[in-house]
Amino acid sequence: MLMSARICAVCATCALSATLLSACGGAPAPTPPADEPSAVGEAPGQARAAAKPSPDPKMKAADRGAYRAALRDGRAAHRSGDLPAAIAAFDRALALFADDPRALNERGWARYKGGDLQGAEADTRQALARTVDRRLIGASWYNLGRIFEDREQAAEAADAYRRSLAARPNAIVQARLETLEQNDQASMAAVALAGPFADDAALCAHLKTAADVEHAACLPPAGPPIAGAPFGARFARTFIPLWDEAPPDPEGPGSDLWHLVLDVPAGRFVLLDVASTYNPGAFGIYEHVEFAGPSTRTLADGRTLAWLAVDHNRGDSDMGLNEVEEWNEQYVLVCGVGPSGVPACLGPLHTRRAGSRSILFEDEEEAPGVEHDLWSHAANFSVELLADGAVQVKPDGALARDADTAHVGVHRLVFP
């Protein structure tokens, strides 16, 4: 079954073939410490219409200056080790520019350094939900990986580092991922889903807590399970409005987070943020995501595995430069149930990662002195589920970036 929706937004993404086939312009990423790098679709009955971009909101000159000063103060305080002062400065920046992903990410990193893992995770996830900048996406996933490592959640940390590398290559992130994997190079641990939840109310309470936004709206799974899908697979949605409003309008501008809900004998479980979008209704941002599946495969030992394919397209137009940046990411999630009885999923395993920056209107007259930085990149992979339950990832052609090799090889899947 194929599900799709068009919206203005942000996120992450891979397609699938016969067996199991075969990262967004914006504001600059925050400046991390020198030694460190600092996810729509449509489920049954839950489609959203495309939002037409409107003119960019403008800050008053005085507010803009105060906002930049607050960011500078926060970064200076962080570098000097005064974390409370850094957090207070980022608070001032966010009071002037609510939900700014740069300030959120930097406040989250300061909170992490101060030992507030819960606050750090909340800030970082909000930053991810509100940016299309690949560098900031990569930095935010790295920060989440560090948070997971401190909680001794190795599988979640490795998954976060892979997502960071998918957004942009980085030697420090690659080294931390390799350190996590060095004890078992041939295996990839699936991440256990959250749950069980007794009913939709309990599920929504968890989703709202995870979003950590006062006026977030939860739309629980609607309608019957996806036709032919295992584990009663359905989708839930969290909507975060662009502006704090009560009650939130799920069809208005904001962020959508899509979650995979699985029903197994042990109860109902959820995989957070299978896809996410930021739909501000402005900034020239456009996204289109399709879900294919889930489909199933029964292994020789009788185990059943399911996989979900995600195909995500995004565009970000810069009218001032007459340029448009476009990205396509396709990936697979592989899910199963291990000895614990709790479902777990592995991924994203990319089957395609491509992007380009090109001229938006070819017939538009260029302003004097304009220089364009145009580029393109594409990497394709095949992802095959072997008879013994291992996954083989093979490149289709030459790879141009180190990040493209993150999953290449044969990996034994480990389900808790």
pLDDT tens, 320-339?
A: 678 888 889 898 888 888 88
Q: Given a cut of 80, is residue 407 above it in pLDDT?
A: no
Which range, of 142-156, 276-290, 373-387, averages the lowest pLDDT? Answer: 276-290
Residues 162-178, mean pLDDT to the nearest whole number: 86
What is the pLDDT, as a whole number, of residue 93? 92
Mean pLDDT value across the chain: 77
What is the pLDDT, as a whole number, of residue 64? 81
What is the pLDDT, as a whole number, of residue 349? 85
194: buried, middle or exposed (CB in 10 Å: 19+, 13-18, 0-12)?
Answer: middle
**89 confidence band (pLDDT: 50, 70, 90):** very high
What is the pLDDT, as a whole number, of residue 48? 45
Pick from 33, 41, 38, 44: nearest CA to 9: 41
What is the pLDDT, as a whole number, of residue 223? 66
What is the pLDDT, as a whole number, of residue 58? 56
What is the pLDDT, as a whole number, of residue 92? 94
**85 confidence band (pLDDT: 50, 70, 90):** very high
User: 360: which strand partners?
Assistant: none
**20 confidence band (pLDDT: 50, 70, 90):** very low
Which range, of 192-201, 304-313, 390-399, averages the lowest pLDDT? Answer: 390-399
What is the pLDDT, as a whole number, of residue 75? 93
Strands (E), 73-181: none
pLDDT tens, 110-140?
A: 999 999 999 999 999 999 988 888 889 999 9
- Residue by residue, what is the 3-state secondary structure of 215-232? CCEEECCCCCCCCCCHHH
Give me the residue label for tokens 């979900």.
308
Which range, of 208-217, 257-266, 363-372, averages the lowest pLDDT? Answer: 363-372
Which H/E stretch holds residue 291? strand 285-298
Tokens representing residue 97 in the block: 């520019």
User: 6: which strand partners?
Assistant: 288
**249 confidence band (pLDDT: 50, 70, 90):** confident
Residue type, 314: R
What is the pLDDT, as a whole number, of residue 9? 32
Domain ranges of the chain: 2-59+97-414
Share of the chain above pLDDT 70, in %: 78
What is the pLDDT, as a whole number, of residue 414? 77
What is the 8-class DSSP label of residue 66? H
Residues 195-219, mean pLDDT to the nearest whole number: 89
**77 confidence band (pLDDT: 50, 70, 90):** very high
Which range, of 43-52, 139-148, 285-294, averages the lowest pLDDT? Answer: 43-52
252/280 Cα distance (integer angstroms)? 9
**229 confidence band (pLDDT: 50, 70, 90):** low
Which range, of 41-55, 248-262, 271-285, averages the lowest pLDDT? Answer: 41-55
395 close to 375: Cβ distance less than 8 angstroms: no
**319 confidence band (pLDDT: 50, 70, 90):** low
Tokens representing residue 372 in the block: 């364009």
